[in-house]
Amino acid sequence: MCVDGQVEWMRVVRFVMLHAACLLVLVVGWSWIAVAVAVGVYFARVFGLTAFYHRYFSHRAFKTSRVVQFLGALLGSSAGQGGPIWWAAHHRHHHRTSDQPEDRHSPVQKGFVWSHILWFMTREANGTNYRVVKDWLKFPELRFLERHDSLAPTLLAIAMFALGVTVGNLWPGSGTSGVQMLVWGSFISSVALYHATFGINSLAHKFGSRPYQTKDDSRNNFWLALITFGEGWHNNHHYFPSSARQGFRWWEVDVSYYLLVFMSWLGLVWDLKPVPARVFDQSPRWPSAKGAL
């Protein structure tokens, strides 16, 4: 137990145990199928976080049906980073207080380690300010995912094990097993996902370029954008948060936005909020790459 703002160390222990579980790869080995599945599951959950948890639930950057809304929330929940309502509440708080003393995960205020992992291991961070997410409380299916935020990651782990067993039985020469697929598709994929997305809180406020003058220290980082499907264009995002697109210019790769556009062609999402013309009309600063990763 702890007071607000102090780390609850049992949460740290669980986090460390997940990392330690990745060492099982030394026992189970690898196969091309297990690695490919791990990569696929990683990017699917990146999309769940970036497109739905972030751009939809936090910023309402597009519209969709209730069914797709739930499926997007379920996919985001499988990343093991809390429920959609909790996530949106904390992210909205971040934008109101970015890099100020009230910002719970600012590297400017409390340093890299705190902003990267420790902030969400406190009692304060695990609470939810429901006043700022009233728009989502009317959906019982979202409240269900909120109450049972470990359900989707658990189901994913079970599915990975079952998939590995199935592949091993159907194709014995593949070298794939249930435990191997569990290690790669759940443990390793999750740890990689954690540190990639956590890097937006920490690294994207320390390393990169600042083409737009914002009230915080948000930065654009090409490498983070690649591994997070566009979230690395963080200075762009903080300059105009409600856009469905975070890579404002053609060379700013934003895979989540491309996938949302594809979904709009299928009629699954619509009314993607664009970047205003005034953003393109101006001439932002383009500093040197010094300090970028």
Kindly provide the residue ranges of all beta strands, DSSP E only, lying in the chain, ordered along the sequence: 63-64, 269-270
Both tokens assigned to 157: 């782990």
Helices (H), 78-150: 84-97, 107-110, 112-116, 134-137, 140-147
Cα separation values, 168 from 69, 138, 279, Å: 35, 44, 53
DSSP state of 209: B
Name the 3-class secondary structure at 7: strand
pTM attached to this predicted model: 0.93
Residue 74 phi/psi, 5-degree rounding, is -65, -45
Sequence-ordered alpha helix ranges (H) in 106-228: 107-110, 112-116, 134-137, 140-147, 151-170, 178-182, 189-202, 222-227
Residue ranges, the chain, pLDDT below 50: 1-4, 287-293
pLDDT of residue 293: 40
Q: What is the pLDDT of residue 82?
A: 94
| pLDDT the model gives residue 3 | 38
Q: What is the pLDDT of residue 289?
A: 38
Print burial letters for 205-225: b (CB count within 10 Å at least 16), e (below 16). Answer: bbbbbbbbebebbbbbbbebb
Contact residues for 127 (Cβ-Cβ < 8 A; gap 6+): none
Segment 218-245, tens digit of pLDDT: 999 999 999 999 999 999 999 999 999 9
Q: How deeply is 43 buried, as exposed, middle or buried, from its count of CB atoms within 10 A (0-12, 13-18, 19+)?
A: middle
DSSP 3-state of 63? strand
* Amino acid symbol at 132: V
pLDDT digits (tens, 9 = 90+) for 22-64: 999 999 999 999 999 999 999 999 999 999 999 999 999 999 9
> Measured between alpha carbons, how far is 232 from 8 in angstroms, rounded to an integer?
29
| pLDDT for the residue numbered 284 | 60
